[in-house]
């Protein structure tokens, strides 16, 4: 169904098509069973061979050789994620994190000096933010960078092992420079976290004086990415290596910044780096699509147990239990696809807008990126596991690709922000209407946020506001009488759940604050599960609205009908998963709740013949999937069937 792939390819269809051509064949595809050294060598080499137009580097400004197209760079990363997640992450570190930080936090002199070499991968670099001692609490980094007016240099220093930079991609092997985040100190005062461009290796790859480089060694996955550790022993950094778009230090040590408040400044800096999270979420979804394509194609050819007394054989995909797992996961993958597409569009439009910065819109984007990153990466972890189990023993062999997909994506749940912390950020945005929410990862901490700040509750619609409102308004009559597949009813239920949870969270936080004002941690901790559920419900609603808008965009009626059925499955299986809540809050009667389960099964039955079509539309080639069992299984099944037939013939030679 050509039209289906077109709808999925979406706004950056040209980038997807280019990737299918330029990266065709197996040249860039992950190699199972490599040693760490082999993987690092291959990935490092291939990075330099990657096409850049379009490509992940498309986000760089045109005048340095990019396309000024942030959306294209995200979509190019998603495509590369089908081939090799190590290569995608390595490229993401080089062009997204390292290069992206130079663009966003540096000024023209940095751009002129380095961007061309960064784009060509002549200059390989690191993004050195995370420290061993604290991960999520980046505002409290312990590395210091202290200005000395005498020498007009900064003194970059790691005070103890807990402050060393850790898990830093490109550090263990290839990086020659690093964007290092540290506390800026000048004139005896701290101004919060800033970033410097710091050389770490000489031309021959040896660590520079004062720089200690360690290796994080073997990891669960992503063997091709050379993660390492960086420590600095009073390293002198020239004054002009401060990436000074948001904070400048004059030769005499005077500090100045367009943003007065240290916290706000830091989170504004972080906010410019939102693309990393969008890429991680999108890549997790790409890996999920690869895994589902493998599992569903395998389930189509693999037969298990003959049907008793019937001439047909039972394919794995015929089993309801199989459909329950893979079919619903596929529907969620579709839903997340449309949500990601919408997020990338929002990111692109904000980052290419020439008007004045819209802080509310920026906060909303950061919140959306955080929530979808959490949803997509957890969905990937669960779904790839299910796909690996769906292949039985074959799913455990490296030659069948799933072990690599699983191991490589695992870290996505905690890097670029731990998922639980990210959902808290989403909740914070909802509770405050994005006022002072920043791109902050500071949990509930730091006293800047108190329960009284929570806003009056207002839900903001996302995509296609008009369409969604029309559908909700059109729901006829009482709930019990509405068709189970009524789209407005789905939307109203999702919205109702979010609204009620948010309302309850606000009430509980206020009550808690009144009761135990002096223990702000407990106020939040007592309702942490409720607050996280609120954030999840919000993400669910955003995802459904994006899916509904995506269905609406489909032109071909056949495509639209199929997508609409998949959307029903997503909506109803999500309602089913949360039926405990809906029943507790009397949004579903027991009878209606059981009917939802019945309808999920019915939709799975109806969609059964379309499962292959639905994964074909992801447009992932056999070479990219690189799964031995898909190449060999059809032949095996034929051989078995022929042999069994022979045995069944009356004059069978059984010996």
State CA 120 to chain mean position distance. Answer: 26
Q: In sequence order, which residues have a C-beta less than 8 Å from that of residue 398 and are 6 or more positions away? A: 32, 33, 404
- CA distances to 138, 148, 193, 234, 296 from 185, in Å: 17, 9, 9, 14, 56
Q: Which residue has the tokens 């001692």?
A: 133
199 vs 195: CA distance, rounded Å: 13
Q: How far is the CB of 320 from a second copy (least distance, A)?
A: 4
Pattern 163-192, a second copy, x by CB under 8 A: x--xx-----------------x--xxx--
Residues 29-48 close enough to bind a second copy by CB under 8 A: 32-33, 35-36
What the block records as the tokens of 85 is 């997640």
Residues 389-428 close enough to bind a second copy by CB under 8 A: 389, 392-393, 395-399, 402-403, 406-407, 410-411, 413-415, 418-420
Give bridge partners of residue 125 from the DSSP assignment: 177
Closer residue to a second copy in complex, CB, 526/556: 526
Q: Quick check: 261 binds a second copy (CB under 8 A)?
A: no
Residues 620-649 close enough to bind a second copy by CB under 8 A: 632, 635-637, 639-640, 643-644
191 vs 265: CA distance, rounded Å: 10
Which one of 195-203, 273-281, 426-434, 593-601 is the stretch in contact with a second copy (CB under 8 A)? 593-601
DSSP H or E stretch at residue 177: strand 177-186
Q: What are phi and psi of 293, to 5 degrees?
A: -60, -45
Closer residue to a second copy in complex, CB, 245/579: 579
Q: Quick check: 580 binds a second copy (CB under 8 A)?
A: yes
453 vs 428: CA distance, rounded Å: 10
Q: How far is the CB of 285 from a second copy (least distance, A)?
A: 18
Q: How far is the CB of 480 from a second copy (least distance, A)?
A: 15
Q: Which residue has the tokens 């995608």?
A: 88
What the block records as the tokens of 350 is 């904000």
Q: Quick check: 385 binds a second copy (CB under 8 A)?
A: yes
Closer residue to a second copy in complex, CB, 67/90: 90
Q: Quick check: 601 binds a second copy (CB under 8 A)?
A: yes
Q: How far is the CB of 523 from a second copy (least distance, A)?
A: 10
Q: How far is the CB of 166 from a second copy (least distance, A)?
A: 7
Closer residue to a second copy in complex, CB, 71/247: 247
334 vs 618: CA distance, rounded Å: 10
Pattern 516-555, a second copy, x by CB under 8 A: --xxxx---xx-xx--x-----------------------
Angle of helix 320-351 versus helix 70-83 axis, rounded to 10: 150
Closer residue to a second copy in complex, CB, 34/341: 34
User: For residue 168, is the peptide bond before it cis, meaning its omega torsion is within 30 degrees of 0?
Assistant: no
What the block records as the tokens of 545 is 């609205």
Closer residue to a second copy in complex, CB, 72/600: 600
Closer residue to a second copy in complex, CB, 17/530: 530
Q: Quick check: 363 binds a second copy (CB under 8 A)?
A: no
Q: How far is the CB of 361 from a second copy (least distance, A)?
A: 28
What the block records as the tokens of 15 is 């980038």
Give bridge partners of residue 255 from the DSSP assignment: 249
Q: How far is the CB of 231 from a second copy (least distance, A)?
A: 13
Q: Quick check: 304 binds a second copy (CB under 8 A)?
A: yes
Closer residue to a second copy in complex, CB, 190/236: 190
Q: Quick check: 5 binds a second copy (CB under 8 A)?
A: no
What the block records as the tokens of 560 is 């639209």
Whether 129 contacts 165, CB under 8 Å: yes
Q: Residue 201 carries which DSSP code?
A: B
Closer residue to a second copy in complex, CB, 393/557: 393
Residues 136-165 close enough to bind a second copy by CB under 8 A: 136-137, 140, 142, 144, 146, 155, 159-163
Q: Quick check: 445 binds a second copy (CB under 8 A)?
A: yes
Q: Quick check: 585 binds a second copy (CB under 8 A)?
A: yes
Closer residue to a second copy in complex, CB, 162/561: 162
Q: How far is the CB of 514 from a second copy (least distance, A)?
A: 16
Pattern 320-339, a second copy, x by CB under 8 A: xx--x---------------
Name the CA radius of gyration of the chain, rounded: 26
Q: Quick check: 134 binds a second copy (CB under 8 A)?
A: yes
Q: Quick check: 255 binds a second copy (CB under 8 A)?
A: no
Q: Quick check: 381 binds a second copy (CB under 8 A)?
A: yes
Closer residue to a second copy in complex, CB, 314/472: 314
Among 314, 350, 467, 482, binds a second copy (CB under 8 A): 314
Which one of 131-139, 468-476, 508-516, 557-565 is the stretch in contact with a second copy (CB under 8 A)? 131-139
DSSP string, 480-538: GGS-TT-HHHHHHHHHHHHHHHHHHHHHHHHHHHHH-TT-HHHHHHTTHHHHHHHHHHH
Number of residues that this document lists for the chain: 655
Closer residue to a second copy in complex, CB, 73/139: 139
Q: How far is the CB of 121 from a second copy (least distance, A)?
A: 25
Closer residue to a second copy in complex, CB, 309/466: 309
b/e burial code for range 35-64 (CB count within 10 A of at least 16 → b): ebeebbebbbebbeebebebbbbbbbeeeb
Whether 162 contacts 142, CB under 8 Å: yes
DSSP H or E stretch at residue 186: strand 177-186
192 vs 110: CA distance, rounded Å: 21
- CA distances to 29, 75, 194, 215, 218 from 36, in Å: 16, 28, 33, 12, 7
Q: What phi-psi label fits residue 603: left (phi over 0), alpha (psi between -120 and 50 degrees) or beta?
A: alpha
Q: How far is the CB of 199 from a second copy (least distance, A)?
A: 22
Q: How far is the CB of 87 from a second copy (least distance, A)?
A: 18
Closer residue to a second copy in complex, CB, 318/496: 318
Q: Quick check: 90 binds a second copy (CB under 8 A)?
A: no
Closer residue to a second copy in complex, CB, 359/399: 399
Please tell me the count of residues contacting a second copy according to CB under 8 A.
Answer: 108
486 vs 476: CA distance, rounded Å: 9
Closer residue to a second copy in complex, CB, 34/174: 34
Q: What are phi and psi of 455, to 5 degrees?
A: -85, 170
Q: How far is the CB of 439 from a second copy (least distance, A)?
A: 16
Q: Residue 207 carries which DSSP code?
A: B
Residues 268-287 close enough to bind a second copy by CB under 8 A: none
456 vs 149: CA distance, rounded Å: 49
């Amino acid at each position: 169904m050509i039209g289906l792939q077109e709808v999925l390819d979406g706004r950056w269809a040209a980038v997807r098509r280019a990737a299918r051509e330029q990266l065709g064949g197996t040249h860039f595809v992950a190699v199972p069973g490599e040693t760490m050294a082999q993987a690092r060598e291959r990935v490092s080499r291939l990075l330099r061979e990657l096409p850049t137009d379009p490509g992940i580097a498309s986000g760089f400004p045109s005048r340095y050789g990019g396309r000024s197209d942030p959306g294209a760079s995200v979509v190019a990363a998603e495509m590369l994620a089908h081939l090799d997640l190590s290569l995608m992450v390595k490229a993401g570190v080089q062009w997204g994190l390292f290069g992206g930080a130079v663009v966003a936090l540096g000024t023209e002199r940095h751009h002129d000096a380095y961007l061309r070499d960064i784009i060509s991968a002549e200059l390989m670099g690191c993004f050195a933010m995370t420290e061993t001692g604290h991960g999520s609490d980046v505002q409290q980094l312990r590395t210091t960078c202290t200005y000395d007016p005498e020498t007009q240099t900064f003194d970059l220093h790691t005070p103890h092992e807990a402050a060393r930079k850790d898990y830093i991609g490109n550090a263990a092997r290839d990086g020659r420079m690093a964007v290092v985040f540290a506390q800026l100190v000048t004139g005896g005062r701290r101004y919060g976290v800033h970033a410097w461009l710091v050389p770490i290796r000489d031309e021959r790859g040896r660590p520079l004086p004062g720089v200690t480089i360690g290796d994080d060694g073997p990891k669960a996955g992503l063997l091709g990415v050379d993660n390492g550790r960086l420590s600095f022993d009073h390293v002198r950094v020239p004054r002009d290596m401060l990436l000074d778009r948001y904070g400048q230090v004059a030769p005499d040590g005077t500090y100045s910044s367009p943003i007065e408040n240290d916290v706000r400044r830091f989170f504004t800096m972080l906010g410019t780096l939102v693309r990393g999270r969008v890429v991680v979420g999108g890549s997790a979804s790409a890996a999920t699509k690869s895994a589902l394509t493998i599992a569903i194609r395998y389930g189509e050819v693999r037969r298990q147990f003959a049907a008793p007394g019937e001439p047909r054989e039972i394919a794995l995909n015929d089993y309801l239990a199989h459909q329950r797992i893979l079919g619903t996961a596929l529907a969620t993958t579709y839903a997340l696809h449309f949500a990601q597409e919408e997020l990338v569009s929002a990111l692109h439009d904000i980052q290419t807008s020439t008007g004045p910065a819209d802080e509310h819109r920026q906060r909303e984007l950061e919140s959306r990126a955080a929530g979808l990153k959490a949803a997509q990466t957890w969905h990937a972890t669960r779904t790839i596991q299910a796909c690996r189990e769906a292949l039985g023993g074959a799913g455990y062999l490296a030659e069948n690709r799933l072990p690599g997909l699983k191991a490589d994506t695992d870290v996505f749940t905690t890097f670029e922000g731990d998922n639980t912390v990210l959902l808290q950020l989403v909740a914070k945005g909802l509770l405050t209407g994005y006022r002072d929410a920043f791109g902050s990862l500071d949990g509930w901490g730091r006293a800047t946020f108190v329960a009284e700040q929570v806003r009056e509750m207002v839900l903001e619609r996302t995509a296609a506001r008009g369409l969604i409102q029309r559908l909700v308004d059109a729901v006829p009559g009482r709930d019990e009488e509405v068709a189970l597949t009524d789209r407005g009813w789905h939307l109203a239920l999702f919205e109702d759940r979010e609204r009620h949870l948010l309302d309850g969270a606000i009430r509980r936080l206020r009550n808690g604050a009144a009761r135990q004002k002096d223990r702000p941690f407990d106020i939040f901790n007592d309702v942490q599960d409720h607050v996280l559920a609120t954030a999840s419900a919000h993400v669910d609603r955003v995802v459904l609205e994006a899916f509904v808008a995506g269905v609406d965009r489909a032109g071909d009626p056949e495509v639209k009908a199929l997508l609409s059925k998949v959307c029903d499955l997503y909506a109803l299986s999500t309602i089913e998963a949360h039926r405990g809540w809906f029943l507790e809050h009397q949004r579903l009667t027991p009878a209606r709740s059981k009917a939802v389960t019945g309808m999920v099964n019915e939709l799975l039955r109806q969609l059964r013949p379309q499962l292959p079509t639905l994964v074909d539309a992801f447009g992932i080639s056999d070479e990219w999937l690189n799964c031995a069992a898909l190449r060999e299984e059809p032949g095996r099944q034929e051989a078995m069937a022929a042999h069994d037939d022979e045995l069944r013939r009356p004059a069978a030679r059984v010996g």
